[in-house]
Amino acid sequence: MEESGAYPKSDKVLTSLLLGYLVNSFTPKFGEIIRCTSLQKTTKVPVAVSMGSVMAERAYDMLILGLGIFAVFCFEMDRLQGIFESTIGGISHIYGYRYLYVIPIAVLALFILFLISLRRIKKSERRPIKKIVEFLQSMFLSLKQGLLLKKRFQFILLTLLIWTMLVVLNYIYLLCLPETSGYPFSFAIVILFIGGIGWALPSPGGIGTTHFLLLQLFLAFQLDPNAGISFGILSNGLTFIGTIVIGGYGYFRYRVETKTLKKQ
Per-residue pLDDT at 181: 87
The model's pTM:
0.78
Per-residue pLDDT at 82: 66
Determine the average pLDDT of the residues in 28-46: 88
Model pLDDT for residues 180-213, shown as the tens digit of each residue: 888 889 999 999 998 888 877 777 777 777 888 8
Model pLDDT for residues 210-244, shown as the tens digit of each residue: 888 888 888 888 888 888 888 888 888 888 899 99
Question: Binning pLDDT at 50, 70 and 90, where does residue 2 land?
Answer: low
Residue 114 has pLDDT above 80, yes or no: no
Q: Which has more confidence, 152 or 15?
A: 15
Per-residue pLDDT at 1: 59
Per-residue pLDDT at 252: 92
Q: What secondary structure does DSSP assign to the chain, as a single string?
A: -GGGT----HHHHHHHHHHHHHHHTTSSSTHHHHHHHHHHHHH---HHHHHHHHHHHHHHHHHHHHHHHHHHHHHSHHHHHHHHHHHHHHHHHHH-HHHHHHHHHHHHHHHHHHHHHHHHHTT---HHHHHHHHHHHHHHHHHHHHHH-SSHHHHHHHHHHHHHHHHHHHHHHHHHSTTTTTS-HHHHHHHHHHHHHHHHSSSGGGTTHHHHHHHHHHHHTT--HHHHHHHHHHHHHHHHHHHHHHHHHHHHHHHHHHHHHHH-
Model pLDDT for residues 69-110, shown as the tens digit of each residue: 888 888 877 777 766 666 555 545 444 555 556 666 777 787
Determine the average pLDDT of the residues in 4-10: 72
